[in-house]
Structure 1
């Protein structure tokens, strides 16, 4: 039962039954009530490394543009907010024969409010973060704001809806990439293909045994940690995705397409062995910003990942000397690499003119493959 002493906000609303598990409510809030009812779930990680939240940071220019419009006088503001409501909300249907038309039911929505300013807000903003920030600052505080709210008691459901409602206006790719492993089903086949690679990148970033430990820049990376996070997660995600999906990729056999299962332990073993060997082969280029070392930029990550598909078929992972064997293979191309200085042979590209673009990624990848295959033939 509702506590009669609990502060409550009542609003006329329409209840739409799109499915039996998640009721959807359409109602309005005054601009100054939005901050009282809802908060923004900023993406970050807790002390245990668990992902919390899902929203990107404030875009100040965007907020200012909205605020300027809200304060301009007579405004029309049809772009509403989407809120994830707590399961403590209550809906009372109106009485009378005109209560419903078969699609929507009219009534009153009761939303519990925090007792004081320090208490958490009952709802989370799933879509309209920048608009909500502008609404909180506008002098037009009584402006009626259209709201669509769905009951979502779990963070997983909120994240799922957050990704789905933002597919028209694309979210930052690194934000989407990091959120994907946390949702049950990806909003599209394209995003579904990135779900497993993103989870593996998260492992590489958080595993103390990984050469990438703390070096991968993700949407949730703390500002202080960004100083040492020199690898963009999207480059690694694309690299792993390519190896997983290509029949010639060294990670491809670890997927059972028939059952949909993946040997993540085996994949982790390959990634750790190979990239540890890369780090040991190029110690002066490892861990530096991409402006100082192209190895840590997208072009280096993608090219060396493609080389992994050739190198690791010659390495016995069950052998205690697997990492040493991988390094011996990589040494075959080491003298031909120009990650921090020099000019790439045959390509005529100074090291600092190599960019993270498809043309250069393909050129460096093909060059390293030719050098590696030729060196192995000579060694035999």
Structure 2
């Protein structure tokens, strides 16, 4: 049996590709035509939905306010439709909007999910609110509108970044971030990755390493590092795999060289190695070993990281950055100044070790050459 809702609306002519409408609807109507599609991933890591988890305390505050006799809610709830709507033309901007709810709510909330959740909990009154409706061509366009609408609002950046890989037609700065976000998700949800389930994302709140820290490592390398070369010299698919393998192998080596500081029980509070500052600073070390020594495997990276053993303060002690700059291990914070200081300190140790090993290698080569000549002469 067909079930339809009809509203008097006002249409704003903004884009030839989209229909934008405003109308008033009661909470009971909203429940029939709008739903909240929360962001999640399935067992294979496939992303679905886009809304952040609900904030219970915020919803409770809104509900308590709406229960008052003189409460108002002037901000509209933004709902997007990709199906189930029919716009009837009227005079000027006036029109009608028919929503087919026969197969369930066809609309997805783009903005106002906490308000809608609070409205659904009202028991004694059917509150009427303003609704802004966007009729989109498909779900990809809906997701794009969600990102662009919320990018200038105080929505968690990590959620925006996690959604970016599924969005097209973005500004360049967001397109670059989209690659970093997609690679971060791949590292987090691929079984053979050394970072499997270790990265905190909205779809993996149990992770201990911030997704934005891993993305920063990738972005730094994309801007002027080894990953930039990978993507320039290979196809997109092969270059992306090389980037994935590089980071996975490097942090596998980090776990091998610093097993205590990398232990799964460690958190950013107990170990600066899994803290944003440590992750990003070590990313610069990865660049040095990859570019100057050609390290690609965990074994090769571990060989280059060996010189840092007993010269770090990831979980206790203090750092000696030289020139009287001594800092307790907890004093390292996730700010650019501390990240640069830590990265430069680690890189200096690694570079000095590289020079020593090269010098020793040259000496051994010379000794072997002399031995061969002596043997030949005798």
Measure, in 2, the Cα distance between the counterparts of 1:336 and 1:154.
Answer: 55
User: Which consecutive residues of structure 2, in runs of 5 or more, have no partner in the other structure?
Assistant: 360-378
Q: Residues 140, 184 of structure 1: CA spacing in aligned structure 2 closer, same or farther, 3 A cutoff?
A: farther
**1:20-42 deviations in Å (ceiling 9; x for gaps):** 33222222111232122211111
Structure with the higher fraction of residues in helix conformation: 2
* 2:245 pairs with 1:266: no
Q: Residue 154 of structure 2 aligns to a residue in which SS?
A: coil
Which of residues 57, 61, 84 is equivalent to 1:61?
A: 57
Structure 2 partner of 1:332: 307
Q: Do the aligned residues in 2 keep the contact of 1:89 with 1:109 (CA within 8 Å)?
A: yes
Report matched runs for 1:187-266 at 5 Å: 188-221=171-204, 226=206, 229-245=207-223, 247=224, 249-256=225-232, 263-266=239-242
Structure 1 partner of 2:353: 375
Report matched runs for 1:18-37 at 5 Å: 18-37=14-33
Give the structure with higher Rg (CA).
Answer: 2
* 2:319 pairs with 1:323: no
RMSD: 2.4
Q: Residue 226 of structure 2 aligns to a residue in which SS?
A: coil
Structure 1 partner of 2:337: 359
Aligned length: 352
Q: Do the aligned residues in 1 keep the contact of 2:33 with 2:105 (CA within 8 Å)?
A: yes
Q: Deviation of residue 250 (structure 1)?
A: 2.2
**1:235-273 deviations in Å (ceiling 9; x for gaps):** 11111101111x3x222223449x999921221232223
Which of residues 250, 253, 265 is equivalent to 1:277?
A: 253
**1:45-65 deviations in Å (ceiling 9; x for gaps):** 123321011111222333233
| Higher mean C-alpha deviation, range 345-354 or range 324-333 | 345-354
Q: Residues 49, 243 of structure 1: CA spacing in aligned structure 2 closer, same or farther, 3 A cutoff?
A: same
* 2:100 pairs with 1:112: yes
Structure 1 partner of 2:142: 158
Structure 2 partner of 1:181: 165
TM-score (norm 2): 0.86
Structure 2 partner of 1:11: 7
Q: Do the aligned residues in 1 keep the contact of 2:84 with 2:99 (CA within 8 Å)?
A: yes
